[in-house]
Chain A
Amino acid sequence: GAGVSQSPRYKVAKRGQDVALRCDPISGHVSLFWYQQALGQGPEFLTYFQNEAQLDKSGLPSDRFFAERPEGSVSTLKIQRTQQEDSAVYLCASSLVSSGTGGEQYFGPGTRLTVT
């Protein structure tokens, strides 16, 4: 079956613009995660959904970052008034089981955001 897909794969935004990044998880997966990955570093947790409920958003760096998963499947990460420090790869992952119960995560290819 299809894996996790993300769109767009690449996004260039001028500083101050708003962007929306989309994630299509594997069908039936309960958990959905967003991570931010800077060059040469590991993924940094941003937020986690169990179905449509956002259970943890402790990793969102500021109130400019907002994520939603209204119907418990597709998720959107929105960044308002982008800044240069927002430039990174944004990874989405899904898991069949609830987080913290030992389920492997399936990652999408990521969206590379460049803020100029």
Chain B
Amino acid sequence: SQKIEQNSEALNIQEGKTATLTCNYTNYSPAYLQWYRQDPGRGPVFLLLIRENEKEKRKERLKVTFDTTLKQSLFHITASQPADSATYLCALDAANAGKSTFGDGTTLTVKP
């Protein structure tokens, strides 16, 4: 069956460091992959989308990589800040499919 694994439920880092979050998947051939941020009591907020034929995407302090051979995406936040503390979700989508399949998220805590 399809499975998405995000690295360790929780990640704690020091302010200013780079946070790296991992999303691994099995039994899936996604057309694209998305990363969302979710704060407590709120719905997820879209951050970045990367397609299967793209290796890397950047947006300000955020960078996403997508390796379809390794079946893995890495999400990096450089120069992290306490305000980056949240749960980060990856979601996979097949082409022309109705649904997104989400991982369970990684909770990032950035300490000042």
Contacts and interface: CB of A to CB of B under 8 A. Distances in A.
A109 B43 contact: yes
B89 A42 contact: yes
Contact-size category for B: 20 to 34
Given A42-B89, A43-B102, A59-B99, A100 B44 contact: no
A106 interface: yes
Given A40-B104, A102-B32, A107-B44, A48 B49 contact: no
Interface string A70-108: 000000000000000000000101000001111011111
Interface stretch (B57-65, B67-75, B76-84, B90-98): B90-98
A109 B97 CA distance: 24
Interface residues of A, number: 28
A100 B31 contact: yes
Given A44-B102, A102-B49, A102-B51, A109 B41 contact: yes
Contact of B46 (A44, A56, A104, A109): A104
Interface string B30-47: 011010100001111110
Contact of A104 (B9, B49, B99): B49
A91 B44 CA distance: 9
9 contacts: A4-B43, A43-B89, A91-B43, A93-B44, A100-B94, A104-B34, A107-B43, A108-B43, A110-B42
Given A91-B43, A102-B51, 10 more contacts: A42-B103, A45-B99, A45-B100, A48-B98, A56-B97, A99-B93, A99-B98, A100-B93, A104-B46, A110-B42
Interface of A: 4, 33, 35, 40-45, 48, 50, 55-56, 58-59, 91, 93, 99-102, 104-110
